[in-house]
């Protein structure tokens, strides 16, 4: 047997001088080349499976009240207008979007939002804004006999809790509510409800002060930093600034400016979250609307 025959397994080599199956030949049905039909080997690629639909939450309570009636009772407009809100997908119940007009809910337990704002359904809940005057302490009773905020809501039958405190020399917005959960959430800094103040300072503040306050200042009970800072007006002897922060520590605004060398000469709290003091006179109160209370509840994570 010749060497050539041994290389080809005893068979004569094909014409052209290359043995069958050598690298110079075309693959015999192997590899990734196209098939005779033009489709890639291994069949056509499979279409991606559509994502599985999210499980739907059944919020319907057969013994409840129609959702559009609940919304209308809460002051969201006429029943027809509330039906349009539902049909437009702007209403959620317990976190689930509702578009069907036949859904019934229990207004005593359901958590309803419209456009992301919590709807206040409990008609017994009341929240009041007070412009606390200077010289009044932020308690409902003072053992030393000093004037308290209780005198401004003495005609209310509800048991009211005040949201946060202002020292006796600070004026401005305080909220009072009979919703204990709302009061606790608004007062606790972990919920990030921002409070804004106008502060009259002794001395002309430099533009660089804002950066220092935003980065944080170390006080004796720990660091504090503001959320926003704005210089409203300056003179050679004094400054008027606006500062926002979600801290609730005692006299924190006064201590903050003392630390940076610009003592506070007068201080007014102008807002708590979305609620503004506006033109409310010192010693006067007003009942918040359901929309305002809903905004507060939403900011407090309720």
Tell me how far CA of residue 287 lies from CA of 72, 251, 272, 292, in angstroms.
20, 27, 15, 10
B/e letters for 194-214, b = 16+ CB within 10 Å, e = fewer, are bbbbbbbbebebeeebbeebe
Euclidean distance between CA atoms 128 and 277, whole angstroms = 11
Site of tokens 């009942």: 287
Phi, psi for 218 (deg, rounded to 5): -85, 120
CB under 8 A, 24+ apart: contacts of 5-9: none
- Listed in sequence order, the residues at least 6 apart from 41 whose beta carbon sits closer than 8 Å to its beta carbon are 31, 32, 33, 34, 35
Question: Of 63, 94, 142, 167, which residue is the catalytic one?
Answer: 167
Answer whether 289's CB lies under 8 Å from 268's CB. no
Question: For residue 24, what is the DSSP state?
Answer: T
Tell me how far CA of residue 187 lies from CA of 89, 246, 262, 300, in angstroms.
33, 9, 27, 9
* CA atoms in the 13 A half-sphere facing the CB of 224: 24
Query: Does 181 participate in catalysis according to the annotation?
Result: no
Question: For residue 28, what is the DSSP state?
Answer: S
Which residue numbers are catalytic? 167
């Amino acid at each position: 047997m010749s060497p050539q025959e041994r290389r080809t397994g005893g068979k004569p080599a094909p014409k052209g001088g290359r043995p069958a199956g050598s690298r110079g030949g075309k693959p015999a049905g192997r590899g990734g080349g196209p098939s005779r039909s033009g489709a890639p080997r291994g069949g056509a690629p499979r279409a991606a499976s559509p994502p599985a639909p999210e499980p739907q939450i059944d919020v319907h309570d057969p013994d409840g009240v129609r959702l559009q009636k609940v919304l209308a009772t809460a002051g969201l407009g006429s029943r027809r207008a509330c039906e349009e809100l539902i049909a437009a997908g702007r209403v959620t119940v317990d976190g689930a979007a509702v578009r069907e007009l036949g859904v019934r809910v229990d207004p005593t337990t359901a958590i309803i939002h419209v456009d992301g704002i919590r709807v206040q359904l409990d008609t017994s809940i009341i929240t009041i804004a007070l412009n606390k005057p200077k010289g009044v302490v932020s308690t409902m009773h003072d053992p030393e006999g000093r004037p308290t905020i209780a005198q401004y809501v003495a005609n209310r039958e509800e048991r009211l809790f005040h949201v946060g405190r202002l020292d006796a020399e600070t004026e401005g917005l305080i909220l009072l509510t009979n919703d204990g959960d709302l009061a606790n959430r608004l007062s606790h800094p972990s919920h990030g409800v921002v409070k804004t103040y106008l502060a009259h300072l002794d001395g002309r503040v430099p533009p660089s002060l804002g950066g220092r306050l935003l980065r944080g200042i170390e006080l004796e009970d720990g660091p504090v930093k503001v959320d926003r800072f704005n210089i409203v007006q300056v003179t050679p002897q004094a400054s008027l600034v606006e500062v926002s922060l979600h801290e609730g520590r005692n006299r924190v605004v006064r201590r903050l400016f003392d630390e940076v060398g610009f003592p506070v000469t007068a201080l007014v709290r102008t807002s708590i979250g979305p609620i503004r003091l506006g033109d409310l006179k010192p010693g006067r109160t007003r009942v918040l609307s359901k929309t305002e209370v809903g905004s507060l509840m939403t900011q407090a994570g309720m």
